[in-house]
Amino acid sequence: MRAAYMPEPGRIAVGDFPVPEARGEGQVVVRMEAASICGSDIHNIFDGFHNPAAIGRPGYPGHEGIGTVSESRSSLFEPGDRVLTVPMGRDGACFAEYQLIPDAYLLPVPDGVEIPKALMAQQYGTTLYAMRLFWPDEGRSKGTCAIIGAGSAGLFFIQLAKRIGFAQILVSDLSPERLSVAKELGADIIVHAPNESIVDAVAAATGGEGADLVIEAAGYDQCRADAIAAVRMLGVVGFFGFPERLGNAPFPQYDAFRKVARIQWAGATQAEPGLVSFRDALRDISAGRIDVDYCLGEQYSLEDLPQAVEAARHQSHGKVKIVIDLT
């Protein structure tokens, strides 16, 4: 089979590998149809966050995938079943024609859902899980939500914030194209960084009080500091973005302390019992309760994956998501 792999940190290539076999109980082989590039994939490839044991492994680091079961030693899945694959990032192997995966990280795809749309349930599921951590009590005041970063995750957070009922939503990003999508999805105020400040915009929109909920979905230390600066007293800060570097990072601890902010990190959606958020994400997409169309504009072939990850590394010139066609 053809598969992408990391021959060394900082580089991805495509080569030939044996087709994996399901030998252990609960193992499944999936004939992959599509995968998408996550921001964490870029960090794994270029920024030293990779799993050292996965160097040279076919399909790594892709972990957002969809395909059809070709071989199964699981009582839960049979050949011919279409499945969403949601492995832990360190175990990702989606960038390949075939993927060997435990059945614990597979979900059945509802009939009638277009493959590219169903694929978006992986990313959307992680934001759904995160928002439930950030704002678990829907009975609380729902004044202002600020979202830093308008990539695929940030744009899903806009839709979730609207569903919860926040009175106003502010969104900042570096890309005017992504901010345009944010506006279409319901953002009340868009902030074009770095020339415009999300902190100043939140202060102006709230009379200087700050936002009830600030979500950092860009993954930069400065953005995390801005989140603390933008939140109100006793407000909530949700950190979703990937770390900027390994090891310790600067953080405005005193400001967070003075505001008595509740800080919630999000991650490891794959460890949620029953994969509830991913299941709900598939249902939402199937029922049309969430818009994913803006994620589907740019596709690459498996052979062009090296170029695709470079495009994703540079924010794909304003595109929201990059899909890899594996058929």
Compute the distance between CA of residue 322 and CA of residue 327 in angstroms, rounded to an integer: 16
Is residue 211's pLDDT more than 90? Answer: yes
Based on the fold, state whether residues 52 and 162 are members of the same structural domain. no
Based on the fold, state whether residues 90 and 197 are members of the same structural domain. no
What pairing do the DSSP bridges indicate for beta strands 106-108 and 144-148? unpaired
Based on the fold, state whether residues 223 and 193 are members of the same structural domain. yes
Is residue 252's pLDDT more than 80? Answer: yes
Based on the fold, state whether residues 7 and 97 are members of the same structural domain. yes
For 59-68, 92-101, 129-138, which range has the lowest pLDDT when averaged over its residues?
129-138
Cα–Cα nearest to 280, from 157, 128, 117, 123: 128
Compute the distance between CA of residue 248 and CA of residue 173 in angstroms, rounded to an integer: 25
Compute the distance between CA of residue 201 and CA of residue 206 in angstroms, rounded to an integer: 9
Is residue 318's pLDDT more than 70? Answer: no
How large is the average pLDDT for residues 313-324? 80
Is residue 297's pLDDT more than 80? Answer: no
Per-residue confidence at 161, pLDDT binned at 50, 70, 90? very high
Tokens (6 digits) for 133:
């951590």
Residue 317: its pLDDT value, please? Answer: 61
Instruction: Tell whether 53 is covered by a domain.
Output: yes
Residue 263: its pLDDT value, please? Answer: 97
- Structurally, the chain folds into a number of domains equal to 2
Matching residue, tokens 């680091």: 61
Q: Provide the domain limits for residue 147.
A: 138-267
CATH number at residue 66: 3.90.180.10
Compute the distance between CA of residue 199 and CA of residue 135 in angstroms, rounded to an integer: 21
Based on the fold, state whether residues 101 and 37 are members of the same structural domain. yes
Instruction: Tell whether 273 is covered by a domain.
Output: no
Based on the fold, state whether residues 112 and 182 are members of the same structural domain. no
Instruction: Tell whether 155 is covered by a domain.
Output: yes
Instruction: Tell whether 98 is covered by a domain.
Output: yes
Select from 267, 285, 307 the last residue of a domain: 267
Based on the fold, state whether residues 77 and 180 are members of the same structural domain. no
CATH number at residue 164: 3.40.50.720
- Overall residue count recorded for the chain in this entry: 327
Instruction: Tell whether 189 is covered by a domain.
Output: yes
Based on the fold, state whether residues 11 and 99 are members of the same structural domain. yes
169-186 tens-digit pLDDT: 999 999 999 999 999 999
Judge residue 173's burial from the number of C-beta atoms within 10 Å of its C-beta, 0-12 exposed, 13-18 middle, 19 or more buried.
Answer: buried
How large is the average pLDDT for residues 121-148? 92
Compute the distance between CA of residue 104 and CA of residue 19 in angstroms, rounded to an integer: 21
How large is the average pLDDT for residues 246-256? 95
How large is the average pLDDT for residues 71-89? 97
Residue 28: its pLDDT value, please? Answer: 98
Instruction: Tell whether 38 is covered by a domain.
Output: yes
Is residue 141's pLDDT more than 90? Answer: no
Question: Is residue 212 within 8 Å of 237, Cβ to Cβ?
Answer: no
Based on the fold, state whether residues 150 and 230 are members of the same structural domain. yes
Based on the fold, state whether residues 43 and 97 are members of the same structural domain. yes
Compute the distance between CA of residue 214 and CA of residue 249 in angstroms, rounded to an integer: 19
Based on the fold, state whether residues 28 and 55 are members of the same structural domain. yes
Based on the fold, state whether residues 167 and 243 are members of the same structural domain. yes
Is residue 316's pLDDT more than 70? Answer: no
Average pLDDT of every residue of the chain: 95
Per-residue confidence at 320, pLDDT binned at 50, 70, 90? confident
Question: pTM for this structure?
Answer: 0.95
Is residue 319's pLDDT more than 80? Answer: no
112-134 tens-digit pLDDT: 999 999 999 999 999 999 999 99
Instruction: Tell whether 284 is covered by a domain.
Output: no
Residue 137: its pLDDT value, please? Answer: 79
